[in-house]
Structures are given as structure tokens and as C-alpha cells.
Amino acid sequence: MIEAEIEKSLINEFKKLNIEGLRFVGSWEVASPGEVKGVEGATYDALATVRVNTRTYEGCSCPWCTISCSLGIAYRSECDATGEKFIDAIERIMTRFNDWQMSFDDAMNVFSIPGKFDFYGFLLTGGEASQLDDEIGCWVASQTFDVKGSITR
């Protein structure tokens, strides 16, 4: 499935940023026994959830498609009282997003799947302000983005 492969590629790219303590979890990944994939009840101090949604086609029988993605980040406030680690993680991830927007080749290396998906574009589509959510005791942020391309036939 193309979505699962793109999600795996995203997670591998984010792991290369070497953000200490931040655990990346994909929505298409199977949770390990006892693992909680959501923010509430999670067994780790910092969690980034990568979600790759089902693709939508841009025309009737056309191979062009948009794959909508989102990244949610949460750091427990008890482990990052000032939000310093959280802000560092956001800055590093946003720098990577900007790299993909500025360099077609960088993005193509991440999102193209030989023989399955030809990458044509990366677009940041929205995000929520980074903030402390007192209800769940976490620093939280989210960013949505689209990957555009065509299904190889």
C-alpha cells in the first residue's frame, strides 16, 4: 500500500534528525504489545504521530493523486517544563519540511516509490500553534501537508 510506504519513509527521515527522546509512531504501523499510540496514556515522554491518509484522485481514471499527511507532536510537560526540548524538535522538523519545499530532489528522494508512485510536489497545508495543553499535561503541535504525484501503472 502506497500510504504505508510513504509513512515509513517519513518516519525514517524524521529519525535521521536525531531528536533525543522523540518517538515516531505511524498510523499504519501495528502497535507493539502494551504500546499506546496516542498521546494520552502513552508510555514515553515525547511522541510524534505520523498519519498518512488515503489518497484522493484529482480526476476520474487519472493516475494523479494527493496523499494528505499530518504530524502531531507531544512532549509531556513534567519532562520538559520550559518547552525547550519541544521547541528544538519543532524547529528541526520544520527545517526539514522547508528543505522538501525548496528542493524537489530532496523531496523526491523521500516520497517517490520506484515502480509505484512518482512524486511531483510537496505542500505544507496547515498547522496548529505550538502550545502547552494543561488538560493532558503536554506541549503539543501539529502540521499537515500534502504529497502530490501519480500512481505508476
Q: Can you list the domains of the chain with their CATH numbers?
A: 2-151 (3.30.2000.30)
pTM for this prediction:
0.84
Q: What pLDDT does residue 56 have? A: 73
**Contact yes or no for 85/141 (Cβ under 8 A):** no
C-alpha distance from residue 4 to each of 7, 18, 26, 78, 92 (Å): 5, 22, 8, 33, 24
DSSP 3-state of 111:
helix
Query: What is the CA angle 102-47-17, rounded to 5?
Result: 40
Residue whose cell numbers read 496547515: 126
* Dist CA 56 CA 13 (whole Å): 24
Q: What pLDDT does residue 47 have? A: 79
56-57 and 117-133 strand pairing = unpaired
Is the C-alpha dihedral spanning 89, 42, 79, 15 positive or negative? negative
How far is C-alpha 127 from the geometric centre of its chain's CA atoms? 12
Per-residue pLDDT of the chain (153 residues; tens, 9 = 90+): 888 899 999 999 999 999 988 888 887 766 666 655 554 445 567 878 888 887 777 666 667 888 999 998 888 888 898 999 999 999 999 999 999 999 999 999 999 999 999 999 999 998 877 888 888 888 899 999 999 998 887
Q: What pLDDT does residue 60 have? A: 61
DSSP 3-state of 69:
strand
